[in-house]
Structure 1
Amino acid sequence: MKTKVLQQILRDASLDAEGNVLLKKTLDDIEEILIDTRNCIPDERYLAVGHHMAEVIKRAQRGEVLAKIDQDTEDQIEGSYKEKSRNILTSLKSLGDTTTSSSEIILLAIHLQCASNGF
């Protein structure tokens, strides 16, 4: 990920020091997954994923859980992206169980699938 994009995400996120470390590690993990599937990820996609992950961390720190996502939406996401999402979010387990809720998994999987398909 370009340094400029990462700096913008970290600046916009307004996380504490621990949150910044977790966000950076998570974004590195996501980039590694996306590089395997597509060589050129637009900065806008990285910004979207980065801001999303910052919100995941903030929700976890506050103990908030997202509402359940509609099954029809969930069914449209490929299983491999759900699994990749689950693996990434498991790395945030230190923040609590909220990071591994089905809704968090699906929302991140949507980002991963869109990026892999060039959107």
Structure 2
Amino acid sequence: MQHPLVTHFFDEPTNTFSYIVQDPDSSACAIIDSVLDFDYAAGRTDVRSADKIIEYVQSNDLSVEWVLETHVHADHLSAAPYLHERLGGKTGIGEKIAVVQEVFGKAFNAGTDFARDGSQFDHL
């Protein structure tokens, strides 16, 4: 049995890694813990880091099966929705996301329009 192929992408501003994990016997892959760039001074997001992942996926003819979050990120914003929209695949996170959404939904007064059940993801 071969080991999965793992490619990392380092985001210096947040000191975090994102990963593409590929099945060595096919083009199937998963993207893990993607970064959405955020300029604190300007209060704007950018997709430069996510576009590097997209470029890698497309240039290697990979098929994204999953866009995964291993945890809720306090160190960076997630590019998962952007990558899911551009590359497809299912989104996933741990089922305790509902607890986090409930706590932060109240703390930030998100109102009743913000679902607090993890339904933004395809699989918990």
TM-score, with length taken from structure 1? 0.30
- Greater helix fraction, Structure 1 or Structure 2: 1
Structure (1 or 2) with the larger CA radius of gyration: 2
- Greater strand fraction, Structure 1 or Structure 2: 2
Larger RCO, structure (CA 8 Å, separation 6 or more): 1
TM-score, with length taken from structure 2? 0.29
